[in-house]
Chain A
Amino acid sequence: MYGLIEHTDEINRLLARYGVKFGIYKNNVFNERLFPFDAVPRIISKDEFDYLERGLKQRVKALNIFLKDIYTKKQIIKDKIIPEEFVYGAAGYMMECEGAVPPKDVFAHISGIDLVQGNDMRWYVLEDNLRVPSGASYPMIARELCRRASPDTFRANGVVDNRNYGDLLRNTLDYVNTGGINVVLTPGRFNSAFFEHSYLAEKTGSVFAMPQDLFVEGNVLYYNEYSGKRQRVGAVYRRINDDFIDPMTFRADSLLGVPHIMDAYRAGNVALVNAPGNSVADDKGIYYYVPAMIKYYLGEEPILSNAPTYLPFYEEDMKYVLENVHKLVVKDVAESGGYGVVFGNELSLERLYELKKAIQKEPRRFIAQEIIKFNDLKVVEHGVATERKADLRAFVLMGEEPVVWQSGLTRFAKDANSFVVNSSQGGGFKDTWVLSR
């Protein structure tokens, strides 16, 4: 392991060489930043991973059924498991997706489930990302470089190779492909995750497309070649949010979308990966109901726990939140990327008062969670070992059966004591080792 850690700077230099960056807009200026890598890995034992794998598969299966149910029969609402206002009031619910069932009934092709490990060593799910979860490319390329830096470390430790993510993703695309080529669709060069888009296109052997390369004719999606030929497209791994993907269906002012792509999708002529409308399942309010969803759809006890969560929507929870807001973390359900998250213990009395007022005024807008005591991970900072809060984004890819990638993106906070691990907030990342024995 030390043989690996001593090469941290060189690995970071090589990551820069391969353009491993993410983009960020600040004051309307686009900048690309390197994503700092810490070579001390998160290590997950085989048994622990087996447990996580079972829980993640179970969770994603339930979420996938939920999405189909919500956009078709709505049985879970009729049976009063989830209040309808939580579904129809969610920003991610897309009326335009009503009745649309994707090829092979797969909605959640790629799920990024964010977990944290408490200092009691229990894992808690913090968020489900079912829109376009990003981040798999970073540990994949970092592993490649780590293996070069210290082969003996990997010879000695029996670490499952994680460089197969491209193959897993290609299998998912092939599984739902309706006949034609696979395409990775990016909104363009100045998207924050552009590196990942182009890298995954390379690793899956897909055609890398900009919106202007695609067109729909007769409810069929085509890729326009420079020679004038056109190629039918069977699956689109689209890295464009629902709102922008089709100006004829969603935002009419979108210049990033492909007109009528939703018509091709509704006609069953192309798979959109992930399915439009998935963001309803990302909603922080819906998150509260995932354990109930698992019981309802699968008839099983949830394997993975949610972080203890309160919905001010319920009177009892509102009372608890108002009394304890100073020791809770409050999240605005409409925000993401680490924004809209406030820790009650960091607020002045005046701001606590304002927060309580806001919660009372719009109870549906917030969730509150107990602050989990993280099992902090070791990082090396300027040559000195220290600790940081970290999460784990696990990736579940859906084919005939869900497959959990035997790795994940471990993100750590920039500053000691900070709970915010998002790259856009200055954090770094680690490799995630899953041991084979």
Chain B
Amino acid sequence: MGIISIKSSDNLFWLGRYVERVFTTLKAFTECYDIMIDINDEEYINFCRRLGIANNYSCRQEFISSFLFDANDPASIYSSLLHAYDNAVEMRNTISSETLAYLQLAVDIMEKSSSSNASLLKVQEVTDWIFAFWGSADDNIESEASRNILKFGRSIERLDLYTRLDYPHELLKKEFSIMLNRLYKVGIDFNTHSIERLTRMILEEEDYSPYKFSIQNELAQLFVTGVM
């Protein structure tokens, strides 16, 4: 079914973003967790700063439990996963019950993991289900437009998180090219000036790090069109 409303396109876009947010922040969290084991107990403070989230955690242990599992912490992985699920559940007929089921499994695992004494081992399954989600989305979403919007959301989230987390420039370039390709396929109005500036900062500059906040700002402006 290739007919998509404004609301549905919004759901798909944010579904892509939140699923990616869970995936990438979980990966980054795992790295931070590793450092906290024997190098720096307070690495989480640096982690929060890099992600641009408030450090409302009183200690390492609180950070670990809240950032992973606290539904009331808007920065938490669980909270992002629930937002992904909320968007997905409204799109069952587009993404298919099969695809939705993988997010349901991820939610279930998060709920079970919070009481596990080896949370991070259990949480690995969330990553597995997200891989399965994307595989299923590729196979089961019939509408090319829907797939493009979903993956466009993923690309935008990646670009945002990659800059926050100082990912290698080559990865950023690759993702930006993917995003550009999808942007034209999605077929909605966008801010051409933002695209020009992003192209310059990501593809033409040697080092993107001096521009990371500008990149995040331009990503936020991407759909601000019309007279300014």
Contact = CB atoms under 8 A, between A and B. Distances in A.
Contacts of B101: 17-19
A169 to B, nearest CB: 13
Contact of A202 (B8, B96, B108, B187): B96
Contacts of B1: 205-207
Interface centre among B6, B9, B96 (most CB of A within 10 A): B6
Nearest to A227: B187
A208 B92 contact: yes
B94 interface: yes
Contact of B108 (A16, A181, A184, A213): A16
B127 interface: no
A397 interface: no
Interface stretch (A55-63, A87-95, A218-226, A340-348): A218-226
B97 A210 contact: no
B3 A181 contact: yes
Contacts of B90: 189, 198, 208, 210
Interface string B19-31: 0000000000000
B97 A18 contact: yes
Nearest to A209: B5
A19 B89 contact: yes
B86 to A, nearest CB: 7
B5 A201 contact: no
Chain B interface: which size bin? Answer: 20 to 34
A429 interface: no
A158 B159 CA distance: 56
Given A17-B101, A19-B104, A213-B8, A201 B3 contact: no
A189 B11 CA distance: 12
B104 A201 contact: no
A277 B9 CA distance: 34
A231 interface: yes
A225 B5 contact: yes
Contacts of B108: 16-17
Interface centre among A141, A202, A224 (most CB of B within 10 A): A202
A202 B89 CA distance: 12
Contact of B7 (A19, A141, A212, A227): A212
B201 interface: no
Listed from nearest, the 7 A-B pairs whose CB atoms lie closest are: A198-B92, A201-B93, A213-B5, A226-B9, A202-B93, A208-B93, A226-B6
13 contacts: A16-B104, A17-B104, A17-B108, A19-B89, A189-B86, A198-B92, A199-B92, A208-B92, A212-B7, A213-B6, A213-B7, A223-B3, A226-B5
Interface of B: 1, 3-9, 86, 89-94, 96-97, 100-101, 104-105, 108, 187-188
